[in-house]
Every structure is written in structure tokens, then in C-alpha cells.
Structure 1
């Protein structure tokens, strides 16, 4: 089978990488189409993937993204005409949805973001199948297939991920050190418009710094006052760092979920609290994360967790219970694609 896999965000590289490798082992031919956004291309290079670039994600707001959408659809049309795919796979991309429809080929969307309603409205009518976690809050109708897992387990399940402490040496840290990963997003994604995360960022960082070293990963540009906190390691090592961190806190939803499934205490700060089923389940069923809409409460909880000397052991036990309940998401995706 010949398959186009589209990636528009660094998290998509992680989500699909093991599926691609497994499919290639079974003799299938994969064509990766990627949008140049943050470290997406760096990750693809680090993992040795060949890919075609659809465009650069430089616009903000819905109107600002229209030129990229047009450019990407034109490029994918040309790629598909030459590659002759049997199937398109993406994480809810209108590009794959529209081009697959033009070529009258089936398309699969992997989705876990309930509040991306506008994009979904121009994607789902053209998609054949929408894969979502079982805890996904919306009913998407007959096209929806639910599975008992999380997107993040496609790459952070112990079967596929073994943390390496070498990243700590690069930053002058040890496994016994207290350090906090802080993730800041740009809020420019279509499903983030009108929402907000951490307020008074510098004050937030200064308070956290009293209890451990703060390392920042950011989607957008930060001012010079944050320069000394920026994580200076290659992007494919971020999950190793998250695994060993004492705490994750930030307005980055993907990183919050990643930290939780890795067994690192995770605090998500966003006005979007309560909208996503995976976050609700990770918090209410497994106690692996906390979600707050205000920065003050989030900071107070952060300090409480950092002060707990047994927090990593406690979270490791919670993680083990979660893993017992969930499926091998990569194996599920591979089986579904082959049988589609």
C-alpha cells in the first residue's frame, strides 16, 4: 500500500513515527508531507525520515493561515499525482482531507482535540475515518472509531520509549536534582484563538526558581529576560528531559499530556480547562495531572508538588496503573491501517 502521512506540528512526528516504521517493515510505502513549524523538520531529520515540505507556518489567526492552506493543498496535489497514494493519514488536516477527496482515496484522521471545532468542520466531511481516544468527549458519528489509549502512548509507551539520562549531563543535571520544565505556547493555532495560558510569565518563573532549576521550552519568541532559562538540547531529547523532571507546568497541552503519561507531575494552565477528555481522565481517574485556568492556583500547586519528596515515586505508581489499562496505540494504528 502507498500512504501519504501529513505532519503539521512536532507532536505529529512523534505520534506517527513508530507507525511509519512498522508499516515500512511490512512492505508499505510511505510519503511524508510536512509543514515547517517550530522543530518539525528538525525532528524528521533527527529520525532519518525523507519528506516533502508543504509550506512554512508563519501566519497567525484564521485569516493569516489561508495562504499556507492554499500553498499546501497545491503542493500535496502535485505530490499525490506523482506518488499515487492508496490512503491519506493526518491529525485532522484540511489538506489531506481535501486532496484525498479529490483523488477519491480513503483518509484517516487521528484526533484528540475537542475544541478544534472550526477546523473539524472543514475536515471531517471529507474524511472516511476519525480515530479518537475512548475518553474523547464529542460524538463524531459513524466515522468515529474509539480506542482505549492516548495519542501520547503511540510514542511514550515503554515498548517504544526508554529514557536516556545522557540529556541530564548536557545540562549539568543529575537524576537527584530538582528541576521544572515550563512550556509556553504562542496561542496562534486555530483552535487556540481567544484563549490564554500563564499570565505574568516572568513572575511565575521567578517564583518557581526558588524551589529548583527552571527550564523553558517555548513555541514562540521569548524576551531576553528568559534567555538563561531556554532549553538548549536537540528537540528529540525533550521527552527524556520530561521523564526525569520533578515537575512540568505550562500552557502547552501536548507537553502536559506527555509528562503525565511519563509519570512526571503535570500542571496544565489554560482557559481551555475542562474541554478535553484525555486531560479530564488523566486528572480524575489517574491523578497524573492537574488543570487550572488561573496562574496563581497553578503556582501554588506547583510549589506543593515540588516540596513533596516522594512525588516522583507516587507518580510512577500512578503511571503503572494507567499503562495496565491502556492499549498499545501504535499496534492499534498499524492494524487499523492495514485492514482499512
Structure 2
């Protein structure tokens, strides 16, 4: 089979990378279409995935004219590359995958999370033959919407597919017993981030100053524009492919972006999310909070003080999070298995083996 996969962000690379490897090993012809954005192509190169670029997306919020021009150019390239590859099934999300499936008249599978309903979903839903999302999804996306027990991050962080590199302290050049914190700052440049603000510049500095009194602080700045000359923190400068190993070894993660909070929680690392002005309700965060694997705050002082508390007075936090992970994550669906099965069935769920089919349920709204 010929399988076309869209990886528009670093998170999408991780979502599909194990599936692409397995499908390729099984003799299928797989192509990843991607754009130059943050470290997306760096990850594709690192993991040796077959890809072609269809465009570039800068890590700053584009103006409306810039966005329109960018999308026009990218859609033209996507149409050309898709017809050239001539896939039997398309995987992705948003208008990118919808366009590829439409111009090639190919079954299209969207693998989504519980982001708020927006332009991406409005445009792509009518063109999808199958929509897969976590069972905590709050939206109803129609008759072809099926859910699985887990998170999209289970494609690469499920215990069946992930084992942390225990040499991460050595890579970071810190004492093996030294505590360290990962802080992630969002660039807020994606379509679903429009109008949302995370940590302000003053809050960023204040947070780093407080955390650095108790641990080595590494900052992953999505925009890549932070000046560290007078900050008590170090840039996270390992290869981006090692970020999950760094998360797994960290004593704490603090972020104003969602994906890395999900990831840290599923790895059993204490994870705090600052919502900023984002007032959307996300099923994943609610579920991770219920499982005791993540906490989120809409007040800056509250998240800062909780972070300091975890580092200074709650010595058992790390062990407690790990115990919760062991109890919770192992029972979730290995999403890579599911993606591979759906791909080999050509996006037709009726063609799935019965045990795989049982892992998918028609969408049941979360109350």
C-alpha cells in the first residue's frame, strides 16, 4: 500500500514515527509530507523517516495576509505532491490532509486530540472518512468519529514503545543526583493559539528566578528568540529527539503549552500547566488531573508557588507521580498499533481484526 502521512509539527512526527517505521518494515510505501517549522524536519532526519517538504511556517504569529499567502502556496504544493505520490490512504489533520485526500480521491484518516473546535476541524471534517480521537474528546465530529482509550501521545510514550535514556543527566552536563526542571514557553503561533496569551515576559523571568533557587532550570523556548544572557536558566540545547528522555528524568515540568504537559504527565513527571488566557476546556487535561498526573492553573502566582512547593517541601512528589503512571498508563491503548492496523486496512474500519476493532468505539460525548 501507499500511505501518505502529514507531520506539520514536531508532535506529529512523534505521533506517527513508530507507525511509519513499522509500515515501511512491512513493505508498504510510506511518505511523510511536512513543512519547515521549529524542529520538525530535524526530527524527521533524526528518525530516518522518508519525507518531502511542502512549505515553511515561521515561529511567530503571522499576519492575516501572510497566513493567506502561506496557505495558498502550501496548498498548491500539497496538491502536486499528493497527486505525484498517489496514496491509497492519507493520515493527518486539518485542511492539509483534507486537501490531499480530496485531490487524490483517497480515504482520509484524521487523528485528533481535544483541541477546541476551530477552522481546522470545520474545514477537514466533511472530507474525512475516519476520525480517531481520545475517548475524553468533548466534541462530536459525526458518524465516522471513533474514540480510543488513551491519548495521542500514547503512540510514542506508551510503556510498550518508550524506554527513557538513563544517561540524560550526562547529556545535560549536570550531577546525576542533581534536580532539574524543564520549562516550556509556547510561541503561540498556531491557528488554535490565536488570541491566546501564556506567560508574559515579566512572568517568565520571575518564574525562572524562583525555580533556579532550587534546581537547574532548562528552558525549551518554542519561538527560539529568548536571550539567556541575564537569566538564571540554560537553554535546552540537546537534540530535540531527546526531549522525552529529558522530561522523564526531570523533577518537574512547567509549561504554557499543552502537548508537553500531556507528555510529562504520561511519563510520570510532575507536570504543571499555566493556562494564561486560554479558557478552553480540554478533555485530556481534565483526565490527567483526575488521574493525578497533571495540574493546571489560570493564576500565575498559583502555578509559580506550586512549582516551588513541589521542589522544596514535597519530596515524595516524583515517586507519587511514578506510582500513578504505573497504575494508569499501562492500561491505555498503544496508539501505534491502532494506526498501523487502520493504515493496512486502507482507512476502512470494517477491515480491521476484531481485537483491534474493539479498541475503537463510536464517539460517546463526555459530559
Whether 2:73 is the aligned partner of 1:71: answer yes
Please give the residue correspondences for 1:131-150 in structure 2 after superposition, counting only pairs within 5 Å: 131-150=132-151
Whether 2:212 is the aligned partner of 1:209: answer yes
Secondary structure of residue in 1 paired with 2:13: helix
How far off its partner does 1:318 sit? Answer: 0.3
Unaligned runs of 5+ in 2: 349-367
Unaligned runs of 5+ in 1: none
Q: Provide the rounded CA distance (Å) in 2 between the counterparts of 1:229 and 1:62.
A: 31
Structure 1 62/281 Cα, relative in aligned 2: closer, same or farther at 3 Å?
farther
Secondary structure of residue in 2 paired with 1:81: helix
**TM-score relative to the length of structure 1:** 0.95
Q: Provide the rounded CA distance (Å) in 1 between the counterparts of 2:244 and 2:250.
A: 10
Secondary structure of residue in 2 paired with 1:95: helix
Please give the residue correspondences for 1:1-340 in structure 2 after superposition, counting only pairs within 5 Å: 1-58=1-58, 60-61=61-62, 63=64, 64-90=66-92, 92-199=93-200, 200-220=203-223, 221-224=225-228, 225-226=230-231, 228-270=233-275, 271-272=277-278, 275-284=281-290, 286-307=291-312, 308-339=314-345, 340=348
Q: Could you say which residue in structure 1 is the equivalent of 2:365?
A: none
Secondary structure of residue in 2 paired with 1:85: coil
Structure 1 61/190 Cα, relative in aligned 2: closer, same or farther at 3 Å?
farther
Secondary structure of residue in 1 paired with 2:220: strand
User: Is the CA contact 1:97–1:123 (under 8 Å) kept in the aligned structure 2?
Assistant: yes
Q: Provide the rounded CA distance (Å) in 2 between the counterparts of 1:111 and 1:21.
A: 21
Structure 1 97/161 Cα, relative in aligned 2: closer, same or farther at 3 Å?
same
The number of aligned residues is 338
Does 1 or 2 have the higher relative contact order (CA < 8 Å, sep 6+)?
2
Q: Provide the rounded CA distance (Å) in 2 between the counterparts of 1:226 and 1:158.
A: 36
Task: Encode CA deviations 1:147-206: one digit per residue, 9 max, x unaligned.
Answer: 001111110112211111223112222442211100001111110111122232111110
User: Is the CA contact 1:274–1:280 (under 8 Å) kept in the aligned structure 2?
Assistant: no
| Displaced runs of 4 or more, over 4 A | none
